[in-house]
Structure 1
Amino acid sequence: MSEYGRVVRPDPCVMELVSKLAREPWTDRPSCVHPTLSAAARAVHDHTSSAGRRELLPLAPKFINTARPGLEVSARVVALCVSTALAGGDMTGDEAQRLHGAHQTALHLLTGRTEPEGAARWWLPLLGRFGWSEPFYRTFVATEQVAEAVAVTARQANSDRDRRLRQLLKQCLAAHGALRPGAPTPS
């Protein structure tokens, strides 16, 4: 424990580094980072080895100033993480059901051609009347869905887990628009 009351870990989370680079208080939830991207980064950190965590740190500057609103932003990251997990196929029936519902809801938000599934069928229109569906989805729903999808993906990726999770995190940044397709990215 440090003198300031926070636990000092040997492997800081990439979000904690972002908080310092952005001159925010030390946290793994910096306000300058989109909550869905932050959830993906924390989940990747939690399921990566110590060596793999150090390899995530060069991505830190790419997360700064990504906290823009919009349902599409969150839905793209959810759709990417969930489709990656679903492609692996190794999950419980409950996980598959939740992830399928998350994918359908994300596709609904992105295209409008599918219907949202599960609880989203009622909370999206209800909260939408008050302008609350976007912050609710971005802050609560999408973050949980991304965290579960990353955990499932990590469990599926055995020998190359660190590389696959780092690649997924880079893809999340690209899906969000923080990395330009074809632009060089940190290894």
Structure 2
Amino acid sequence: MMELVSRLAREPWTDRPGCVHPVLSAVARVAHDHSTSTGRRELLPLAPRFIDTNRAGFESSARLVALCVSTALTTGELLRDERRRLTEAHQTALHLLGSEDSPGGAARWWLPVLSPLKWSEPFYRSFVATEQAAEAVTITARAANPDVRLRSLLKLCLASQPKPSCSASAQKSWS
């Protein structure tokens, strides 16, 4: 699906288009991978909505992680280690969204160290949040009716993103 987005955005063929937020892209790839062939076809109409979702800052990444983790935590049986990792991911996301005073999990170590260097946001966005969201989506896919759950989660993730005022790809098409 991300390859289709890259073509729609007139970017080179890739499953990591630059116009898509990296966490949202990770969620879409995992949802696509865990869907049936019918479920994959039902995801395709969502492709245009991914264009121009790439925004800097903690808010979008943390919101996506919180949403994916909350969904995974309510889907049923989790291993103790999975529940611990997801709970820590959720605590970190809530901290970054301003809801909690101190970060949870490993973030209490990397956030203070990387923040003065201005590396904390790119590190969270490119590595930590993408892995946390991907694990949450994988766990969600184990529940009953995975196609329905994954499509619903992907729609919620898209709805959580700020709307672009005018997309760069649309501007290209008018030039």
CA apart distance, 1:112: 4.5
Q: Which runs of 4+ in 1 moved over 4 A?
A: none
Q: How many pairs are equivalent?
A: 164
Which of 63, 85, 107 does residue 94 from structure 2 map onto?
A: 107
Q: Distance in 1 between matches of 2:163 and 2:35?
A: 22
Which of 111, 127, 142 does residue 114 from structure 2 map onto?
A: 127
CA apart distance, 1:178: 4.5
Is the contact made by 2:27 and 2:154 (CA closer than 8 Å) also made in structure 1? yes
Which of 10, 13, 16 does residue 29 from structure 1 map onto?
A: 16
Q: Distance in 2 between matches of 1:86 and 1:112?
A: 19
The equivalent residue for 1:172 is 157
Q: Deviations over 1:19-76 (max 9, x none)?
A: 0111111111001100010000001001100011011111111100111101011000
Report the TM-score when normalising by structure 1.
Answer: 0.85
The equivalent residue for 1:118 is 105
The equivalent residue for 2:46 is 59
- The residue type paired with residue 127 of structure 1 is L
Q: Distance in 1 between matches of 2:126 and 2:75?
A: 26
Q: Deviations over 1:117-145 (max 9, x none)?
A: 22110111111101111111000000000
What SS is found at the alignment partner of 1:30? Answer: coil
Is the contact made by 1:107 and 1:114 (CA closer than 8 Å) also made in structure 2? no
Q: Indicate the percent of aligned positions where both proteins have the same amino acid.
A: 67
What SS is found at the alignment partner of 2:74? Answer: helix
Report the TM-score when normalising by structure 2.
Answer: 0.90
